[in-house]
């Protein structure tokens, strides 16, 4: 289950934090919100696996090498906030991604609505 949690986390971060130049914003919305909801509603055992995956990622990102470099410099603040939210379990309590600006530019309180 740990490997699967790592893969889900990788996919969630990739889709959620890829900019509009690389992926179409509507496609991102169509994939990201259902993934957030699916992860939010996982059974307790799978939520624990996601929390451990986030913890592993945070540990990797915050490690500093002998030259003072940390991989933390590679990611956006929003992605770091998502990892922290998953790690501490807040993500699962309300289903709302972290308070940092939304990766796909929509309000966090609800999935985007078509303007039709």
- Give domain status of residue 103, yes or no: no
pLDDT score recorded for residue 84: 92
**31 in a structural domain:** yes
Question: Distance between alpha carbon 7 and the CA centroid of its chain, in Å?
Answer: 12
* pLDDT tens readout for residues 1-41: 877 888 888 888 887 777 777 777 787 778 888 888 888 88
* Residue 62 falls inside a structural domain: yes
The residue among 26, 40, 29, 21 whose CA lies nearest residue 111 is 29
Residue 105 counted as domain residue:
no
Q: Classify the C-alpha dihedral 106-112-113-116 as positive or negative.
A: positive
For 89, list phi and psi in degrees, rounded to 5: 90, -5
Q: Which domain holds residue 73?
A: 2-94
What are the φ/ψ torsions at residue 95 (nearest 5 degrees)?
Answer: 75, 5
- Is residue 115 over pLDDT 70? no
């Amino acid at each position: 289950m740990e490997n699967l949690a790592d893969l889900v986390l990788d996919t969630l971060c990739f889709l959620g934090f890829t900019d509009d130049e690389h992926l179409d914003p509507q496609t991102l919305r169509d994939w990201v919100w259902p993934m957030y909801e699916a992860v939010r509603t996982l059974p307790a055992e799978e939520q624990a696996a996601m929390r451990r995956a986030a913890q592993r990622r945070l540990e990797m990102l915050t490690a500093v090498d002998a030259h003072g470099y940390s991989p933390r410099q590679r990611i956006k603040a929003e992605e770091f906030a998502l990892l922290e939210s998953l790690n501490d379990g807040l993500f699962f309590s309300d289903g709302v991604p972290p308070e940092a600006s939304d990766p796909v530019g929509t309000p966090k309180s609800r999935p985007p609505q078509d303007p039709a």
